[in-house]
Structure 1
Amino acid sequence: MTDPTPTSSDPAPIDRKLLIEGLGKGLRVIEAFSDDRPRLTATEAGVLTGLTRTAARRYLLSLVHFGYAATDGKYYWLLPRVLRLGQAYLEAARIPRLVQPYIQRASMQCGETFNVGSLDGQEIVYLARSNAPRLISIGFHPGARVPAHVVAQGFAILSTLDDAALDTWIARHDFTNFTGATLDDPVVFRSNVVAARALGYAQADQYLSFGLSGLAVPLKDRKGRCQYALSVTVQRQMYPDDQLVAQLLPVLREVAETLRPIL
């Protein structure tokens, strides 16, 4: 039997009478902005969030008033103040602080950069990063988000889902091709996730960037549940043939087993 999905530990639904619906709508407006949509009109924001133009405009103007957005009268865009929302999590959450000394020790041991991340919908969001002893280190900074199908952490976490949950996730995902080596065929992608499930680790070779390879293992807690993954990203030329797995998989597994009793 496979492990439950990463959302299995979510709290029970809250009585809607206790919710502030306006807060949820305001957060949806913030989330409507993206790399592809850095500037939005009230009409565009309304379409993206399911709100009327008038309602979207009120939320956008509120964001402007409180310093989270700016406007030229037609378009709206987010301001750096929004980063406080994510930074508050990184500073207050237990997991980044818990794993930091362990991934830092692993980094000093082998000279590479290690990351811990979690699956958030269709993306991996990186929560912690070691500081590699090298002058130029490779990896993702805390807060970075990438499509789950292009990084080893995505394969590692998805490999802990049961077949039904995995199929549901795949059906919702946009398999954008980044390098030509990206696994953009859902059938091939699924077979690779299933293979990672059997191996207990996942590898991603130039799926996101040329010349970079990643290796990841699921981080499971004492009950076998998985909400996080541990990974290392390297220059593939430094680890020819099977050297990446041979040299760094034991390090990843050792850290994962050490963390398991305290996650």
Structure 2
Amino acid sequence: MTDTVVVPPDVLTAVRTKHRALWAAGNYPVLAAEVIPALGPVLVEAAGVGPGDHVLDVAAGSGNAAIPAALAGAHVIASDLTPELFDAGRAAAATSGAELTWAEADAHSLPFDDAAFDRVLSCVGVMFAPFHGTAADELLRVTRPGGTIGLIAWTPAGFIGQMFATMKPYAPPPPPGAEPPPLWGDEAHVRALFGDGVTDLHAEVRTLPVARFSSGAEFRDFFKAVYGPTIAVYRAVADSAERTAALDQELLDLAARFQDADGAMGWDYLLLTATRA
């Protein structure tokens, strides 16, 4: 692994508070269930999760990967900074017959023992921990030697990566040392983060078909209502009708670049698996 810059505790505390509120806003479980439910099973299969495995899902949200992992027979802990998401996860787990444990945890400082898990997963989750080196070191620390780390992250050039690029000029400045979430979708960046802490790293870009939105306006308004990062950006410009209208239009333009005539889109993501050295 590479040398990691130590983030001051007060900065981590402030980020933790801000990000918990961000992801508690809106209704992320609706997005997970209606737009990206296919991603969790893809990650579980790629990571080779099976009966008896001890699995940690980092930044699990409402269990998009954790629940399929439990249904595969693993002993699963779904951890997330925002426990407000767990009620929806517990309901989904009960409906599917999955049994797992839910734990509040910050990806920058996981409350688990070294080498405690056979498989450590994160499905478009850990990518939003802004101090990438610190989060990567934690993923490595809790994975046993010979165990598997499996990640899905949105790519910088794909739809969600471009959505974040579109919103960036309207957002408050990030804390010093923070890195953009879609960098986790860049293979070279993740290879550098893990360094010699892993072997047999395999990465490929795949595309998630998304047919949930019939128009750009429907996409924009859905994200404005349920997705924490989008809600936060609109709040940041709420006192300016001009900037709000400009952001509205830029998100419509973004959708137009990616949607076909029927409104369907393809969202690129990086699927990565690696063996803990």
TM-score in terms of structure 1 length: 0.30
Looking at CA atoms only, which structure, 1 or 2, has the larger radius of gyration? 1
Specify which structure has the bigger relative contact order, considering alpha-carbon pairs within 8 angstroms and separated by 6 or more residues: 2
